[in-house]
Amino acid sequence: MSSWRIYSTRRGKAAFWTALCLLTVCAGAVSLLAGSVELSPRAVLDALTGADTASTAARIVRYTRLPRTCAAMLAGAALAVSGAVIQTVLNNPLASPGIIGVNSGAGLAVALLCAMAPAAQQYAPLAAFAGALAGVGLIMILARATGAARITVVLAGVAISNLFSAGIDAVVTLAPEALNGVTDFRIGGFTGVTMAKIAPAAGMILVSLLLVCSLAKQMEVLALGGDIAESLGLAVRPVRFALLALAAALAGAAVSFSGLLSFVGLIVPHILRRLVGEESLPLLIGSALGGALFVTVCDLIARVLFAPFELPVGIVLAFAGAPFFLWLLFHQRGGRT
């Protein structure tokens, strides 16, 4: 897939990265300012610096909008990078954490943890990682069994996702108190998120992002195909497992506080591939920034579109992602289907 022409020049690259960083920062700033209650930049700045801790505006910023903005950016970055890694390792542009069952596997693990050990919810990111890794493992087994046929893998992933979703429904039916706000969890959203809730997942996401970037060169070689990668001296199985484990950690950590957000890991990597090309490190960094930008903007739309009422951000993502997935499905050429 060829990259955007302007990106092929040094000046174009600098302009692109500057614009992407500025847009992401601006989205975060607007997310702090806008909502059912409009706040001035001065009020937000005073709340963030600690100059004002007692006013209503300060409480809104510190306990509602700042955690929500951080959660949207972290979840967007994690899911987008997870999608980029999964698509590369499976050599399947239709794969993403939300489509092939990775997110729902993480969601089932979180539901089981909440039902069986409600006092241990601080370990939700670890449980989500285990569930996401189980989803990745099943997809890898099916990919090998089917010869990695693209449509077959996607359809198998949809079936696995539905199986895990049925498991979540069963847990909620048998233990209704397991997931408070189960509808929001199933759709995906950031209502009621706190800094304490996202802190453990944030650590896992940041470490996983650094580790994935450190494996960018190996990921590039792996993208050439298993046989070619082995002929170039790459230990294919350990590298593939490490990358998929990190993708599972990213998706699982995001699910632990955001619920089952869909399509982020599909849309963002595809857009970034068209902008920066197939080189792994720019793709990973661009996906992280683009994912943070995309989810923050979608969450902002969900909050202000029908203010003072708000939609779960998962609904906005579904409206954006479903047409994109259908377009991608019908425009794929080459490879086995």
One-letter identity of residue 108: L
pTM above 0.85, yes or no: yes
Ranges of residues in the chain with a pLDDT under 50 are 334-337
One-letter identity of residue 221: V
CA dihedral defined by 148, 152, 156, 157, rounded to 10 degrees? 70
Asked if 209 and 78 touch (Cβ cutoff 8 Å), the reply is yes
Tokens of 80: 């987008």
For residue 269, whether the previous peptide bond is cis, meaning omega lies within 30 degrees of 0, is: no
> 146-156, pLDDT tens digit by residue?
555 566 777 77
Round to the nearest angstrom and report the end-to-end CA distance of the chain.
19
- pLDDT the model gives residue 179: 64
Tokens of 178: 């397991």
Enter the DSSP assignment of 335: S
Q: How far apart are CA 260 and CA 264, in angstroms?
A: 11
One-letter identity of residue 11: R
Q: How far apart are CA 30 and CA 19, in angstroms?
A: 16
Task: Sort 109 into a burial class: Cβ within 10 Å, 0-12 / 13-18 / 19+.
Answer: buried
Residues in the chain: 337
Asked if 276 and 289 touch (Cβ cutoff 8 Å), the reply is no
- pLDDT the model gives residue 123: 81
Tell me which H or E stretch contains 235.
Answer: none
- pLDDT the model gives residue 183: 64
> 125-171, pLDDT tens digit by residue?
888 888 888 888 887 777 676 555 566 777 777 888 888 889 888 88
